[in-house]
Amino acid sequence: MLISVEGDQYEALRVFCIGRNYAAHIEELKSERLEAPTMFSKPPTSLVPPGTDIRMPVHGNDLQHEAEVVVLIGKEGAPKDQEEATGFIRALSLGLDMTLRDVQRVQKEKGLPWEIAKSFDQSAPIGTFSPYNDTFDLGNIPFSCHVNGELRQQGNTGDMIFPIPAQVLGVSRIWRLLPGDLIYTGTPAGVGSLKPGDTISVESELMGPFSWNIR
Ligand code: MG
């Protein structure tokens, strides 16, 4: 997917996702809190722009939404600390880390990788991007997720266990950053199931709303 920010074009080839980053969400899934953020990735073909229909996957039954703030990396390199890492952030958006929860449960129990539960086609709906500048406080971005107009998730990046600059730095230590990299920064509590006919939207004061229909 090609992402445009103030006339600059970025090819999104790598989609990194941070897991277990909000205490209340860890609790609702009865997961263990980790000392470092858990990370996984999705193929670029998982990205879905707003307004696109999302098909129910056929290899699982419980498709769940995880509303997340998403960071677009604007340059190549490996920052040395969190302050430098912040300078790699080009733009922000909101997206959904779609998860087949029933499949993930089985994979977790068996100690197997999460790809089939997390990284299937259309598993990464993504909004349009707003340039990162002084209008954003990375540590205080409130955002929400509605399904058919009903509030499902309400979060704030201020509640993250690993704040956004720490995530950018953490990812860069494993994968040298490239322009176009995306980081899904974790979901707050309130994840829930979706069914055909549902309309899901994510929004914040400065971004969205971005919507998708499930069919
Ligand atoms: Mg997630």
Q: Which domain holds residue 123?
A: 2-213
| Cα-to-centroid distance, 48 and ligand 1 (Å) | 16
pLDDT of residue 133: 96
Question: Which tokens go with 142?
Answer: 């409130």
Domain count, the chain: 1
pLDDT at residue 132 greater than cutoff 90: yes
Distance between CA atoms of residues 189 and 6, nearest Å: 33
Helices within 142-187 (DSSP H only): 164-172
Distance 68 CA to ligand 1 centre (A): 7
Under 8 Å between Cβ of 182 and 73: yes
What is the domain-level CATH number for residue 26?
Answer: 3.90.850.10
In the predicted structure, residue 34 carries a pLDDT above the cut 90:
no
User: What's the token pair of residue 199?
Assistant: 């309309």
Question: Who contacts 128 (Cβ-Cβ below 8 Å, separation ≥6)?
Answer: 49, 50, 93, 210
CA of 76 to the centre of ligand 1 (A): 25
In contact, 55 and 175? CB cutoff 8 Å:
no
Region 154-177: what's the mean pLDDT?
96
User: Separation of 183 CA from ligand 1 center, angstroms?
Assistant: 10
Centre of ligand 1 from the C-alpha of residue 18, in Å: 6
**How high is the pLDDT of residue 23?**
87
pLDDT tens per residue across span 168-195: 999 999 999 999 999 999 999 999 999 9
Model confidence pLDDT, tens digit, residues 35-73: 888 999 999 999 999 999 999 999 999 999 999 999 999
Task: Kindly report which listed range (5-14, 35-44, 201-210) carries the lowest average pLDDT score.
Answer: 35-44
Instruction: Give the pLDDT confidence score for residue 201 in this predicted structure.
Output: 98
